[in-house]
A and B are shown apart, each in its own frame.
Chain A
Amino acid sequence: MEQENTKPKEKEGFFQWLITNIGRLALSVAIPGMTFLILRAGFLFLRDNDAPQWVTAIVAILWGVGGIVAFFFIFNWLIEMLPPKWKRRFTPFVFVGPAMAILIWYLIVPVGRTIYLSLLDANSEVFVGLENYVYAFTNDAMVRAFRNNLIWLVLGTGSCIVFGMIIAVLADRAPAWIETLVKTLVFLPMAISMVGAGVIWLFVYSFRPRPPQIGLLNAILNFFGADPVPFMFNQPWNNVFLIIIMVWIQTGYAMVIFSAAIKGIPEELKEAARIDGANEFQVFFRIMIPYIRGTLVTVSTTIIIFTLKVFDIVFTMTGGNYGTEVVANQFYIQRWVAFQNGRGSAIAIVLLLMIIPVMIYNLVQFGSQTEAF
């Protein structure tokens, strides 16, 4: 507001700038135009070419990354030519604009659009009211999916937390090289895709009606004289065996975070309790657990969200058959196998409603830990 009196001057400056810069103006159209044409040529090449695949891949990578860099440079270059006042106004939007545009298109607007689609029929043409939601909450497969997701949530999250905590506490008391080795090996499954993990466990769970067994678990059962078990087909226990895969992957995450938190507990605190006659279990439950409560909540909520969205494991191992449906798998099946836009959208919204309370709780916890704004 204090710059009100300088406004006419700015305007004059702008016209002068405009007249003396026709050439630059022409350039400012020509250069983005040329860049656009080059990028378009790249796009057409990528879409229609017959070159060897690795050539396509390298062109694709250069084109994708180069395009983004070019975008920022051209916008900055255009803005540099504006009078200072306009430059100041536009600069922030060059910085945050692209990110916000992508976020709004890819995540924020789709919430509204999915709600809208969930009120339409399979082909997104006829308004059907809440019919898809009635389906989502009453269909047999969906009801089983909710039940299974609950089992995943309780058993999966619980096991990750318990095992993660046990390993973190024990590793903290071992010699340094053992600690590093153990933590690396337990953490390693985090790097493996859920599809890959599925294949690994297919070999553990493999079932043959008669020996010799090639699956480790059935071979152990056989060794003790027990009958082989078809782990993936026995309802409802097959859910538990799928959950074990997820626990195998995610425990490393819990362990690493807990380990860092445990190392942050002042040694004097534990020592003082021990001098007062507390045994190791009392030190753990009365001193350590309360001290890392915040971390415990964050890790739990993160894993809960992970289990609510679990898809790959079920999709790879059973495809949701034999009573192992989960909500995220039903979402995929409804839209991409049964081509039911409406039902798929409704299930996605249900998933959002399941996750939001947990996530908000998590973010509130974040907010109190880190200073965002």
Chain B
Amino acid sequence: MKKKNQGNVFVILMLALLTIVWSIPTFGLFISSLRSEDAVNSTGWWTVFSDLKNADLSFENYSIVLTGRSMRGDGNVTRGAEKIQMIEAVINSLTVAIPSTLIPILIAAFAAYGFAWIRFPGRKLLFILVVASMVIPLQIALIPLLIDYMKIDLNGTFLGVWLAHTGFGLSLAIYLLYNYISAIPRDILESAFIDGASHFTIFFRLIFPLSVPALASFAIFQFIWVWNDLLVSLVFLGIEPRYEVLTMRLKNMVGTFGTDWHLLTSGAFVSMLIPMVVFVSLQKYFVRGLLAGSVKG
């Protein structure tokens, strides 16, 4: 039973202040994203609250940013907005993030099982390599990999980005899953071995289902990481404008923000929506992954 200091006014006030400071920037952006172009460019978002009746809030900016079409009037493509087409970038981000999450999980789970439950020569040395590669910042790999990619025509393909994210996330995945899988009680596996099951069967029938919590932790961590990544996509997908992911497109919009502040607001919110939903609904697993020691090279 935890003893809690229920009525400490100072504690509550301090927390309220800090939470407001932390939330106001996002909240302000959200309000701005609902306002018209003229309103965004002429007054601050907080003025909405001084005159709530005439606030004129709508999802117009979202419509323009996603499809390039206005919800009002003739529904024509808005000036300058045809290049934004965020819906394309959303699909690209999903295309990058889903395989970049699933592929390393499968490969790492196999490896973690191999390290934890099969004795073989060189096992210790290889595991040291895995841990050592957690130390390496991914910037080290970008230039040599770009050279390889250009040689085998992988530059500017989704496959190239998946493999890159797999390579950069793998050592952390193996480390986390190893810690989990090696802690599974030996008796469970031994009875399976006695029944004559092969490693492969044991892995798919026993280990994989038992590891779901650890797999989920890593999956959420990796998904959010990949979704929010800018550098890797910039380097390996940057030459194909039609493959731009959300972070790249948003960055390009910032470059031209002088005129399109109202679109920047909804664009930013579109890019945040999916990770926020994943994050809030699966926070428990995310925190578990962090506590298990998530440091990413």
Residues of chain A having any CB pair with chain B under 8 Å: 43, 46-47, 53-54, 56-57, 60-61, 64-65, 68-69, 72, 76, 80, 91-96, 98-100, 102-111, 113-114, 117, 124, 163, 166-167, 170-171, 173-176, 178, 181-182, 184-196, 198-204, 212-216, 219, 248, 251, 253, 256-257, 260, 267, 298, 301-302, 305, 309, 311-312, 315-317, 328, 331-332, 335-336, 341, 344-345, 348-349, 351-352, 355-356, 359-360, 362-363, 366, 369-370, 372-373
Contact of A68 with B106 at beta-carbon distance under 8 Å, contacts A76-B200, A192-B276 already known? yes
- Determine the distance from Cα of A189 to Cα of B21 in the docked complex, in whole angstroms: 12
Residues of chain B having any CB pair with chain A under 8 Å: 2-6, 8, 11-12, 14-15, 18-19, 22-26, 28-29, 32, 40-46, 88, 91-92, 94-95, 98-99, 102-103, 106-108, 110-111, 113-115, 118, 120, 123-124, 126-127, 129-145, 147, 157-159, 162-164, 166-168, 170-171, 174-175, 178-179, 198-200, 203, 224, 227-231, 234-235, 238, 246-247, 250-251, 254, 257, 261, 264-265, 267-268, 271-272, 275-276, 278-280, 283, 287, 290-291, 293, 295, 297
- Determine the distance from Cα of A216 to Cα of B23 in the docked complex, in whole angstroms: 13
A68–B94 touching, CB < 8 Å: no
> What are 18 pairs between A and B in contact, CB < 8 Å?
A46-B158, A68-B106, A96-B126, A98-B111, A99-B111, A102-B107, A107-B138, A182-B19, A188-B26, A191-B278, A192-B275, A193-B227, A195-B228, A196-B228, A201-B25, A256-B287, A256-B290, A355-B137
Q: Which 6 A-B pairs have the closest CB atoms?
A: A106-B167, A95-B114, A193-B228, A99-B111, A191-B279, A92-B120
B276–A188 touching, CB < 8 Å: yes
Residues of chain B with a CB closer than 8 A to A351's CB = 137, 139-140
Give A54's nearest chain B residue, CB to CB.
B91
Give B8's nearest chain A residue, CB to CB.
A173
B91–A53 touching, CB < 8 Å: yes
Residues of chain B with a CB closer than 8 A to A108's CB = 129, 132-133, 136
B99–A60 touching, CB < 8 Å: yes
B91–A106 touching, CB < 8 Å: no
Residues of chain B with a CB closer than 8 A to A248's CB = 22, 25
Query: Which of A56, A96, A108, A356 gathers most chain B CB within 10 Å?
Result: A96
Q: Chain A: interface secondary structure?
A: helix
B143–A103 touching, CB < 8 Å: no
Residues of chain B with a CB closer than 8 A to A186's CB = 18-19, 22
A195–B247 touching, CB < 8 Å: yes
